[in-house]
Structure 1
Amino acid sequence: MPDERRPRLGRSAQAAHTMPSTFALSLSKWALDVATKVVKADVRLHHADIVRDDLAIVFVVNHFTRLETLLLPYVLYKHTGREVMGLAAAELFQGRIGRFLQSTGTISTAAPDRDKIIVHSLLKGDHPWMIFPEGGMIKDKKVIDHKGEFAVYNNGQRRPPHKGAAVLALRAEFYRRKIECLYHRPGQEGLQAALEKFELDSAEEVLGRRTVIVPVNITYFPIRAHDNVLLRMATRFAEDLSQRAIEELSVEGTLLSEDTDIDITLGDPIEMDEYLNLPEYASLMACGARDLDDLEMDPSSLFNEAARQLMLRYMREIYELTTVNYDHLFASLLRHLIFSRFDERSLRERAFLCAHHLRRLGVRRVHSLLERTYR
């Protein structure tokens, strides 16, 4: 989770991290264009029209494979023309790969000014950002605990998803509202000090935009584990691969094949104003600049409850965007029938009834194969 108790970001640090090299961006796009010739999967982006220039967007995405960190920014750029920035694991920032990641605007999860860089970028609306609230790849597909609450497995225990994306988005919109208020104040008292605090050249840079969180779901179908090109290449160059790595590559490698469909669905933008306009924040949202210093000392605690509620909302919406497919039906049936005797025919009949029930419920996000079968 983002740690926001940080010193103010300096100009040099900001420039080093937020201004990606044009050459590097072009090179990364070229590399990804080449990669698409290798990736045979059918990648489908839904609801892309919600990406607009007047929105400063934080995409919150479910995380099943390493593939998402490259696939989603490329697909969004291809369909919307917006260059999506993101975070990468600290261990990747070494040598040439690390320098390349930095040049494209990617930030290390261990960067001391990570959160301030993201907030500054959201204020200006430079780039959308992509954050995985689960904090790691969810291999067991279990995101809800026995109490019905969101929880993911991490370091030997289950914990709630991170609410850092919520804190950052709320914080950016709070600052935007403050600057807008000072801008329209008679004599613009306090405006210049606020602009200097956030290293902005003018108020116009932040006005006319809104900070939103967009839930994103990535669904793969089918998910199968077997030998593939990626696994063979990995075992050839690294003979000491762990059993876990082999298992992961046996799945992730097949997701790139022509037999796989990848549905990427963008949800409706969640407006930060819905939370900042709550009665408990009325005094804080009053037009004044002095409280900005207090907020900078401990930005996460002020919005802690709002961020928690926002996290629960976007986690729920991420998984409500799932594209339901045959794997979901059969996995659910087997889970409920695990202690029952059944034959193939009865399983097929139950699957048919499940699909029929989905149609009656009006579930819209259904895989095309399931849609064609039960039209």
Structure 2
Amino acid sequence: MNKDLLINSSGVVLNILEKILDTNIEIKGIENIPKNNPRIFVANHFTRIEALIVPYALYELTNKKVGVIADDSLFNTYFGDFLKDLGAMPISAPFRNNIMLSDLMTGDKDWMIFPEANMVKAKDISKEGNHFCVKIDGTCQVVHTGSAFFALYSQLLRNDYFNDKIKDLRKFKRKYFLDESKNISNDETMIVPINISYSKLRTGKNFLLDMVPRFMDKIGKHFLEELEIESNIVLNSKIIIQILKPLNTQDLLVDLYKKEPNHNKIINKYRYELTHQFMDRIYKSLTISFDHIFTLLIFLYPKKSINKNHFKRMIYLLWNEIKHNCLNYDKDLEHNIINLIAYEEFEPFEDILKIAIKDNILYEDKLNYFIDKSTLLNTHTHHTIRLNNILRVILNEVLIIDRLNIIAKDLVLKDKKQINTQLLKLLEKNDKDEFENDYNKYRDYENIKPKITGQSRYYNHTNSNICIITVHGFSSSPQEVEQMSEYLHSKGVNVYSPRLKGHGTVPEDLKERSWKEWYFSLSRAIVIATLKYKKIYVVGFSTGGLLALLSTKKTYIEFAGIICINAALHLNDIRVKTLIPALSFWNDILNAVHANEYTKKYIDNKAENPDINYDKFYVESIKQLSDLMSKTRKILSDIQSPILIIQAKDDPVVNPTSAYEIFDKIKSKEKELVILERKNHVIIKGDDTKELYDEIFKFIQRHKIKAKDD
């Protein structure tokens, strides 16, 4: 953070300013900022801190101060000096308009204006004819056109100057403070729209809220409301500043300027149209967050109650449609959103759900959420809605995005079967497309595996509601579990062998992946299976066994059990236990001194099945495997699912103590440990597999019968 603009005030104020300016900010569309033109930025307005954060962020990008008009009261606080140093002016400043026009003509300083004028606390925006209307306590306030006026007028004055239409040049320069050091720019004034979005809006007490009263006198209740919202934004939210494509004022004026000498007539002709144009861009460029999706679906859902899984699946589908339709959305959702539908805790969902329940908008029982739509739609007042009904504020923000509402309305009218069918089709397509994209990326590599090796495999049996998911090991592919899968399918059950991301192509593909992406692949497979079948088993081999163990944290009630075979909790390979950490440390040192050419990238692998497995392990890949092993060890004591543990007695890859540790630490009431007299690691294929396959099928049969009895 640039400290030059920070005031030398009390330590408390300095700390608060640093906290504000170090807020989690994501800036998108930087390429849309014109490089040399005088610029006037226009943005939506929700909080006071926007007058600090956004100009400061722009200053950091352009190294040019960005003036902003702020309420006089802000200059009477300890932040006043900082605002002035940043380039802000109070509303009552003398010659304010002339100073702004001077800056826009010369380009010495940029300006930022909030056309909504007031903070739009409810975010209640509607379109009234050719104007946008801000609703405050039922009163419609048309969005101001002042920013369009300044942009157009500065360009008209520039045109007059360069076309020798200024009658009294001396008076003109005096009026607009144009001394010898200031030259009017040849480049036209550009309007740069900005959308300011928030990843989540929350309320509640925090240390910043407690600190402010110590150095500010006579804080009114409205200002306290603002402090609560804005301090929580500073501490807990992400502010997304979306810089949009600029509008060129000269393009608007070029024809009319030649015909019409009256500035007021020209400006009045375009100011409303121009304001509507950039405000439409601003409102429709909202960065859609998880909270928006959640709240919009509650609002549009036509019934009073909704099944929990049905609701989550609709959210997932709407998020996917938002991506498909190229609407702006918060990219943080990409990371773990599969957990939303994969029977695991998804933090953004749990977080907004707590707010909805606390505010009595949702009530829940074991299977359903009950919606109180009248509470959701309560507008309260301009100064209380953010504290009393933040979900209504979030809802208002997306109601103006027509395309999003059309998509959401279509989704909420679909029944459970239609939603499940749509989700299944999407996930199966994603699985197929993901492999196609990965394979095509590396198709020119000499060591790429045959395409059939890496494709996910389905073995359907029409008379069975059971699905066994067979998961391959590290650096391998679904072909590794093919023989076992075919055997299980021959016993009259469905089998699905998913490809773990990074596998079945080339070692370089695996190098780019994390263990969380492997787990994502399994999670998607589990959702696909649960959408088609009633009972699910996961059979994981080696690294697949670790992923199977992790999958027991899923809360799907029909999750019948897992079988882990030679689960790679501890490895025998001395290279992994000692060499890889040493290599990693050595590589870090070499990278730090920019000696990258000497780093060791991989170790060779002599696989049992070189036609399936990769012939080398990248250091990054081994690190991910190590992390997965560590993660699995930590959750063993939480496992309560029925489990069969199978281990080769003399496994040369996985240390057999892994099986004993798993058996001892898990809390499952139904757990079995089978040690097979085998000297190889890949015991799931080849000639000597009957005993292994029989043990797997006996376990499944026992729990299949038990499930019927229950």
Q: Shorter-chain TM-score: which interval?
A: 0.7 to 0.9
In structure 2, the partner of 1:283 is 259
In structure 2, the partner of 1:18 is none
* Structure 2 CA distance for partners of 1:128 and 1:68, relative to 1, 3 Å: same
The TM-score, its normalising length taken from structure 1, stands at 0.77
State the shift of 1:304 in Å: 1.6
Match of 2:319 among 347, 350, 355: 355
State the shift of 1:112 in Å: 4.1
Match of 1:270 among 238, 244, 247: 247
State whether structure 2 residue 81 is matched by structure 1 residue 118. no
In structure 1, the partner of 2:184 is 206
Q: Distance in 1 between matches of 2:222 and 2:76?
A: 24
State whether structure 2 residue 332 is matched by structure 1 residue 369. yes
State the shift of 1:250 in Å: 2.6
State the shift of 1:361 in Å: 1.0
Q: Which amino acid aligns with 2:69?
A: L
Q: Distance in 2 between matches of 1:360 and 1:348?
A: 18
Q: Distance in 2 between matches of 1:193 and 1:36?
A: 43
In structure 2, the partner of 1:128 is 110
* Structure 2 CA distance for partners of 1:92 and 1:249, relative to 1, 3 Å: closer
In structure 2, the partner of 1:324 is 288
Q: Distance in 2 between matches of 1:95 and 1:146?
A: 37
Deviations 1:91-139 (A, max 9, x none): 3344876566456542221234221110111111111101111111111
The answer (yes or no) to whether the contact 1:195–1:203 under 8 Å persists in 2 is no
What secondary structure does 2:53 align onto? helix
Q: Distance in 1 between matches of 2:63 and 2:15?
A: 14
Q: Distance in 1 between matches of 2:186 and 2:163?
A: 13
The answer (yes or no) to whether the contact 1:180–1:207 under 8 Å persists in 2 is no
What secondary structure does 2:147 align onto? helix
The answer (yes or no) to whether the contact 1:54–1:210 under 8 Å persists in 2 is no
Deviations 1:21-59 (A, max 9, x none): xx9956489987973356664211112233344211111
What secondary structure does 1:219 align onto? strand
What secondary structure does 1:248 align onto? helix
State the shift of 1:87 in Å: 0.7
Match of 1:249 among 216, 227, 242: 227
What secondary structure does 2:132 align onto? coil
Q: Distance in 2 between matches of 1:155 and 1:332?
A: 22
State the shift of 1:237 in Å: 6.4
Q: Distance in 2 between matches of 1:33 and 1:73?
A: 19
In structure 1, the partner of 2:63 is 81
Percent identity between the two aligned chains: 27
What secondary structure does 2:119 align onto? coil
Q: Distance in 2 between matches of 1:367 and 1:95?
A: 34
The answer (yes or no) to whether the contact 1:46–1:263 under 8 Å persists in 2 is yes
In structure 1, the partner of 2:563 is none
Q: Please say which of residues 243-252 and 312-321 is displaced more in the overlay.
A: 243-252
* Structure 2 CA distance for partners of 1:326 and 1:173, relative to 1, 3 Å: same
In structure 1, the partner of 2:277 is 313
Deviations 1:262-315 (A, max 9, x none): 111111111002321354x43126xxxxx6xxx4xxx4x541230000110111
The structure with the largest alpha-carbon Rg is 2
Q: Distance in 2 between matches of 1:66 and 1:213?
A: 22
The answer (yes or no) to whether the contact 1:329–1:351 under 8 Å persists in 2 is yes
The answer (yes or no) to whether the contact 2:131–2:272 under 8 Å persists in 1 is no
Q: Which amino acid aligns with 1:66?
A: R
Deviations 1:178-234 (A, max 9, x none): 111129xxxx98766655554434798124221011011111111111221222224
Gaps of 5+ in 1: 1-22, 286-290
Aligned length: 334
* Structure 2 CA distance for partners of 1:126 and 1:237, relative to 1, 3 Å: closer
What secondary structure does 2:17 align onto? helix
Counterparts in 2 of 1:210-221, with a 5 A limit? Answer: 210-221=188-199
The answer (yes or no) to whether the contact 1:180–1:203 under 8 Å persists in 2 is no
Q: Which amino acid aligns with 1:326?
A: F
Q: Distance in 2 between matches of 1:141 and 1:310?
A: 21
* CA root-mean-square deviation: 3.5
State the shift of 1:144 in Å: 1.4
Greater RCO between the two (CA within 8 Å, min separation 6)? 1
Q: Distance in 1 between matches of 2:8 and 2:217?
A: 29
The answer (yes or no) to whether the contact 2:196–2:239 under 8 Å persists in 1 is yes
State the shift of 1:351 in Å: 0.8
* Structure 2 CA distance for partners of 1:342 and 1:70, relative to 1, 3 Å: same
Counterparts in 2 of 1:191-202, with a 5 A limit? Answer: 195=173, 198-201=176-179
Q: Distance in 1 between matches of 2:21 and 2:172?
A: 47
The answer (yes or no) to whether the contact 1:225–1:247 under 8 Å persists in 2 is no
The answer (yes or no) to whether the contact 1:225–1:251 under 8 Å persists in 2 is yes
Q: Which amino acid aligns with 1:357?
A: E
Q: Distance in 2 between matches of 1:52 and 1:86?
A: 19
The answer (yes or no) to whether the contact 1:218–1:263 under 8 Å persists in 2 is yes
Gaps of 5+ in 2: 339-429, 431-710
